[in-house]
Every structure is written in C-alpha cells, then in structure tokens.
Structure 1
Amino acid sequence: MTGSTTNRAWGGRFTEGPDAVMARINASIPFDKRLWRHDIAGSIAHARMLGETGILAAEDAQALVEGLSALAAKWEAEGVPEDPALEDIHMTVEAKLAEMIGPVAGRLHTARSRNDQVATSFRLWVRDAIDGHAQALVAFAHILIDRAEAEAQTIMPGFTHLQVAQPVTLGHHLMAYVEMLLRDIDRFRAARARLNFCPLGSAALAGTGFPIDRALTAQLLGFDAPTANSLDSVSDRDFALDYLMAATQCALHLSRLAEELVLWASQPFGFVTLPDAWSTGSSIMPQKRNPDAAELVRGHSGRILGLMTGLAVTMKGLPLAYSKDMQDDKEPLFEASDLLEVSLAAMAGMMADVTFMRERMREVAASGFSTATDLADWLVQAKGVPFREAHHLAGRAVRAAEAAGVGLAGLSADALAAIDPRLADAGSAPLSVEASVASRLSQGGTAPAAVREAVAAARRRLEALA
C-alpha cells in the first residue's frame, strides 16, 4: 500500500509517499538516535561557521545555535522521540528544531548534505567510543599490573600445547596480558588519529559553492583538519572498520584471558576461585559454581568478530560515492561498543576479585619434569656440552626420574652419574621450580626481579598515555 503523504525532506521530487515496507526498511531512527548528541554538536558548529562567514545573518545563526542547545537540553531530560516519517536522527533534529524556533530552522542545512552530516556525526560518535574504551583499558591494565606485582614470586606452570612446559611466575603470566592491553590502547589511539578529520563541508559528494570555512568547522568540533577529498569524505568508512578491527583484537585478548579463567576455575586445574559475584549456580546441581561471566566474555568476542566481518563485506563492492548500504554501518559499531564495554567491565571486576590458589599452582608447576630445560642449560653453561647433546642427556634424566617415581631434583648423584659422568654434580643445577624461575633474568623473563622491572615499565607507559 502506498503512503498518502510525501517525505518532508525529499518529497518535492515525488507525488506519492513511500510504500509501508519501503518506509520501514529506509528508516534508521530506531538505532541512529544514539547519534543525537553528535549530530547536534555538528549542527551547532555548522551554524556558527555559517554565521562567521556571513552565509547566514548573525541573528539567524544565533537563533540556530540557541535552538539546538535548547533541543539538546530537552532530549537530555526527556529522551529522543522516534518518528519513522522523519527517517533518521538528522531529519529528526531539523524537524524538532523547526517546531521550537520556526522557519529559520530551514536555514540550518545550507551548504551541507545529509551525506557529510552523517559522516561527521558518526566520526564524532566513534571518537567518543574509542576514548571510552581506552579509559577502560587503562583502568583494567592497572588492575592486572597491581595483581602481577603482588604475585611476582608466585610459581605456576607455563604451558605449551596445554602441557606443563616450564615453571613461570603468575606475575609474569599476568603481565603478558598487560602487554596485549597496551597494544590494544595503541590500536585504538591510531584509529582515533586516522579518523580525526572533519568531513563537514563536503556536501553530497562534490563540495559546495558557498564560501564556507571548513577549517573553522573542524576546529570547533575538535578535529585536526578538514578531510581532503569530498568524494572520499562522504563514502569513507575506513574509520568504522578501524574501530571494529581494534575492538575485535581487544575482544580476542579478553577472550583468551576469559578462557584461562574458565580452565583455571575447573576442578582439574583448581588454580583460582571466582567470587560469587562473578559466578552462577546450576538449576539442578547444587554444588556447581559456573564461570558464566568469563564464558560470556569469550562468547562476545565471536560476535564482535562477526560484526567486523559483516561491515567489511558490506563495504567491499561499493562504488563512489555514497550508497544507502552505508546506513547499515552504525548498528555493527553500536553493538560492538556495547559488547566490548561490558566485557571490559566484567574482566576488570573478575581479575580484581579472583583468588589465586598458590599452593595448587606450585604443585602443578613442579609436575611433568618442568625443569628439564634447566638441566640441559646447566650442562651447556657448566660443562660446555653442545645443546643438542645436553637436550638428549636431560631427556635420559627425565626417563630415569620417571622410572624412579621422583622429580629431577630427587635423582641421586649416583643415578645422575650413571647416565653420564658430567651429570654427577647436577645437584647444583636450578632443578627446583623456585631456582628455575629465579634464573630467568633475561629482559622480559619470568624471574621475580624481571617481573618487577616489567611492572615499573608498564606503569611508566600508562602514565605516558595519560
């Protein structure tokens, strides 16, 4: 069925209104109303520029600025109305402004298009989202750094292939995630730097014949400069993909830590106890303490990855300049932002409150002959044995210890000498887990002293970011 009224924004070209399904698929106000603060900010800057350049009379520009400010205050208190006939937040702002200040509101759209208006509002929203995530990442990194410093001497198993490999310190393990978060902050900051150019003034695609001042508009909105090409300005969504790629990488890091919490909280591991606030029970098994928050964070990472992929596929075949496909650019970012925000908050809460079971961690770290590499290294350093031969001898020692039912440190001097005379005094090798981790003093190593150095360096890096 065809509508009976034309759209007030573009109805001059058409004699009939849109079909009901067309109206439904075309309207974006249900989701893009989240841009209202950014659209109003962009409109205020545009109105001020129009007044400064004399394109609009000073009193008209002032009326627009005051009306937009009043509209912002009203919506801050009452919320944003949804009128599908107005299609999107941009037309809603203009229509509601007209209700407040009258026909002068119609001058607001002078020298701009919805194309550059949308691109500007969206960039402002993404910039704010990035700033919020960066702040949350810094706070989370501080939590991990504090826990790492407290656990600098706590022994735990280091794994490869999920098999006990070598003993490490819990502080070192936690600092690995701090490094990931610092890279996430860098990625978001780089994405912010690339997006911080103002499309406003590009108009529909070709620029405008009005004597606008794009540098002034960019300055008023906190951008570094205007964008350089009007065609690119209205069709570019690299900044949205940059955001989603940074969000995806961050979510993958959170997912890895969440997975470790899930494993560590299980009875076979027993490395951590999650507090009640971050666990749930079972509807049938009263003994259960399920790490649901960690599992949900792990699940959110897959959704964020899917959102990034979806927008990339949307953009892959679009010709210049604007196409309506781009209306689907916002919901993926809105959803990804919400998911990442709650994931960061949940992981920060869990890692602040989790209890580490130190004795259990040390017990597992000492299993599986985890100091065999230390024995091989000792042969190289103390006896001058080539590493491949040392590796072979250490393997024979492991086999002997396994047969005797003891750890490497439990082998007698006679048993070691029977393997090879050069092993007779291997009791001086760092075969305990404590001696093993203490010896790993290389930069970036797991020794408690190295962990404390890494903690101090990470704090300096976070201070520099602030």
Structure 2
Amino acid sequence: MKLPQSKKTLVSLAEQNVTTIMPGYTHLQHAQPISYGHYLMAYYQMLKRDKERFEFNQVHTDVSPLGAAALAGTTFPIDRQFTANELGFASVYANSLDAVSDRDFALEFLSNSAILMMHLSRFCEELSMWVSHEFQYLELSDAYTTGSSIMPQKKKPGYGGTDSRKEWSRLRAFNGLTSTMKSLPLAYNKDLQEDKEGVFDTVKTVLPALKVFNGMLQTVHVNKERMQQATENDFSNATELADYLAAKGVPFREAHGIVGQLVLKGIQTHQNLQDMSLETLQQAAPQIEADVYHDLQSDVAVERRHSEGGTGFDQVKAQIAAAKEALS
C-alpha cells in the first residue's frame, strides 16, 4: 500500500498551511473558521486508521492452511509449524474446518479498501467544491484536470479512480463476497472460488488511486487569500461573540439568543458582526466592550481554539509534529 506517501504529503501540505484560515462547515454552511492545516490533518487521521486496518488485516492473512487437507486434517505425519515457517507464514490455522472455509482475510481487505476509497472519494468530493468558481479555494495542476468536449473554459478535476464510482465498486466487491459467504455451510464449497476476482480487481484499483491522490496533493495550489476572505464576509464568528459574552458572565443560553438577534439584524442591514458599531452591539448586550473586535477576527478565533485536537495553531503544530514522528 502507498498510504505512507499520501500521509506524508498531507502532513507536508498541512505544515505549509497551519495559519491559512478557511471556513469550517456543518451542513455545508459556514460554521466556524478553522485552519486549513487542521482540515488536512483530519484526512491524515483517516488514512492513519486505514493503514492500521490493513496492518491488522495482514495478521489474519499471514496464517497457513497447509495440513488442513479437505476439511479434517491428514493422517500423514507432517509438521505444520515447519511448513508454515518454510513458506513464510507467521502461524497456522488452529482448526482445519476453519482453515478450509475461512475468507475473513479477503473480506477484511475488501472492507478496508472500501473504507479507504470512501475517504479518498470524500476528499475529492470536497475538492470538487473547493476548485469551483464559487469557492476558488484551490487550483489543480493541469496534469490532474480534463477539458470539456464543447466548453473551452472548463477545467474539470480528473481524479483517476478516486471518485465515488470507484468507491462504490469496492463496496460492491465487499458486499458480493459477504453475500456469497453468509449462506455457505462448512467447509468447502465451489462458491468460494468467487473470492479472488474482487480482491485482485481491488488491488488494481486502490494502488493507482493512491498514486493519483498523492500526485494531485503535491501539485495543488492553495488560494490562501480567498479562503481567508470567505471567513470575513459571513457570520462564522458568531460563536466567538457568544463565548465572549459567556466569559463576561452571561449564561450561554442567553448569549446564544443575543447573538442570534444580532445576526438577524446584520442580515437585514447587510452588516457583519465585526462591522457593527460598538453602540449597536452594546444595545444588545451592555457587557460588550471595545475588545470584542479583537475576538471577532477570524484568525484570532482560530488561534484561540487551544483544546487538545482543536484548530488552534499550536494544536495543529502538535498534530503535525506527532504525525511526523510516527511517519519517521
């Protein structure tokens, strides 16, 4: 698996964008500003778990069935541990029936591959938005885009196997073998011959997909100014104002309502929270003072998220340092 290269590329790109600010989304709506490096490290964590799953899968695959014979073992005086060692296996099946009928190792591989492809597909679906005219957060290299048959201006992401169609095909392979296995009695049945095609095809799909994914990441251009601007003409700092009021002693439930009314006023008057006058803010909550404008800045909002695993710059740097140590 070429997961380590992709993880290294994600970490490298994250390290370059610790202080790059972008909108964080829930329900595809602006929620709170976050570090783009933090966003990338979320996908690093996904790939890290993918690698761990494949490593555990190897434990279940590295088991010798030799000596199980048809299902009951053999009368010949063989040394199964010796043959396993000679063939490079770490252990032997403890039960001859299980040895003949087990395909868990193949199911695990297909399941792990489906999850991995889901992660790549998820990243690429978001990438399709980030490179669109409406967002323009990122720009892909021409090497990873395609044109249109009739529209000269089009520059479409060409993921080469990391899209949802390929992810769905891996899921079908897993579901297909699961459906084959679920009704089979012990021990051997000819249906078990169907275990190989999906596995081989999955290898042919996943390895190139990882190569394309890694190359695409290495050549992506990040429009840092565009990302930051997207957090300065919205209300993603509303939570900062609610937290500010809570720190002043206002119960958060009340603070939530106060800020909600200010957001409504901002929508009606075409003003962002940070653009409202201090008088307007104080009419809603007299506890607000001039220092609130500092807290309402998007980069300050990100930097202050110091909780472990949060989007604060120091926390993102800590995530990157831990990842680099693990990768080394």
Sort the TM-score into its range (normalised by shorter chain).
over 0.9
Q: Please give the TM-score of this superposition, normalised by the length of structure 2.
A: 0.97
Q: Distance in 1 between matches of 2:294 and 2:237?
A: 10
CA contact (8 A) 1:374 1:429 kept: no
Q: What secondary structure, in the 3-state scheme, does the structure 2 residue paired with 1:422 have? A: coil
Structure 1 counterpart SS, 2:152: coil
Higher relative contact order (CA 8 A, sep 6+): 2
**Aligned-partner SS, 1:283:** coil
Instruction: Verify the 8 A CA contact 1:156 1:361 in the aligned structure 2.
Output: yes
How much does 1:269 deviate? Answer: 1.1
Q: Deviations over 1:29-73 (max 9, x none)?
A: xxxxxxxxxxxxxxxxxxxxxxxxxxxxxxxxxxxxxxxxxxxxx
Q: 1:234 aligns with which of 79, 100, 106?
A: 100
Amino acid at match of 1:185: K
Q: Which residue is 2:194 aligned to?
A: 328
**Counterpart contact for 1:300–1:343, Cα < 8 Å:** no
Deviation at 1:426, TM superposition (A): 5.3
Q: 1:406: how far off?
A: 2.2
Q: Please say if 1:259 is aligned against 2:125.
A: yes
Q: Which digits, 9 at most, give the CA deviation of each residue in 1:153-209, with x for residues without a partner? A: 001010000011110010000000000001101111111112221101111111111
1:125-159 Cα distance to aligned partner (Å, 9 max, x none): xxxxxxxx2xx111100000000000000010100
Matched, 1:421 2:286: yes
**Residue 224 in 1 paired to residue 90 in 2?**
yes
Q: 1:373 aligns with which of 227, 232, 239?
A: 239
Whether contact under 8 Å (2:120, 2:162) holds in the other structure is no
Equivalent residue number for residue 272 of structure 1: 138
| Matching residue of 2:31 | 165
Partners of 1:296 and 1:379 in 2: CA distance: 45
Change (3 A) 1:266 1:295: farther
Matched residue, 1:214? 80
Give the conservation status (yes or no) of the 8 Å contact 1:258–1:295. no
**Partners in 1 of 2:178 and 2:211 — Cα distance?**
27
Residue 429 of structure 1 deviates from its aligned partner by 5.2
Shift of 1:211: 0.9
For residues 283 and 170 of structure 1, what CA distance do their matches in structure 2 show? 34
Indicate the structure (1 or 2) with the bigger Cα radius of gyration. 1
- Kindly provide the amino acid, as one letter, of the partner of residue 456 in structure 1: A
**Helix, strand or coil: the match of 1:165?**
strand
Taking every aligned residue pair, what percent have the same amino acid on both sides? 44
Q: C-alpha distance in 1, partners of 2:152/2:19? A: 36
Q: Residue 316 of structure 2: which of 441, 445, 451 is its match?
A: 451
Which amino acid letter does the alignment assign opposite residue 340 of structure 1? V
1:438 is aligned to 2:306: no
- Match in the other structure for 2:56: 190
Gaps of 5+ in 2: none
Residue number among 210, 222, 229 corresponding to 1:344 in the alignment: 210
Give structure 1 stretches of 5+ with no counterpart: 1-132
Q: Which residue number corresponds to residue 291 of structure 1? A: 157
- Deviation readout 1:408-445 (Å, 9 max, x if unpaired): 11111111111121124452551010110011111111
Normalised by the length of structure 1, the TM-score is 0.69
User: 1:326-351: CA deviations, max 9, x gaps?
Assistant: 11110001111111111111111111
Counterpart residue number, 2:19: 153
Query: Which segment drifts farther, 177-186 or 222-231?
Result: 222-231
CA contact (8 A) 2:161 2:209 kept: no
Could you say what the CA RMSD is over the residues aligned between the two structures, in angstroms? 1.4
Matched residues in 2 for 1:399 and 1:426: separation?
22
Within a 5 Å distance, the mapping from 1:48-59 to structure 2 comes to none
Please identify runs of 4+ aligned residues in structure 1 that moved more than 3 A: none
Partner of 1:142: 8
What is residue 181 of structure 1 aligned with on the other side?
47
* Contact 1:378 1:429 survives alignment (8 Å): no
Equivalence for 1:408: 273
Does structure 2 retain, via aligned residues, the 8 Å contact 1:240–1:333? yes
Code of the residue aligned with 2:281 in structure 1: it is: L
For 1:167, what is the secondary structure of its paired residue?
strand
The alpha-carbon deviation at position 294 of structure 1 amounts to 6.2
The count of corresponding residues between Structure 1 and Structure 2 is 328
- The one-letter code sitting in structure 1 at the alignment partner of 2:323 is A
1:394 match: 259
Matches of 1:145 and 1:312, distance apart in 2: 35
Mapped contact 1:157–1:165 kept (Cα < 8 A): yes
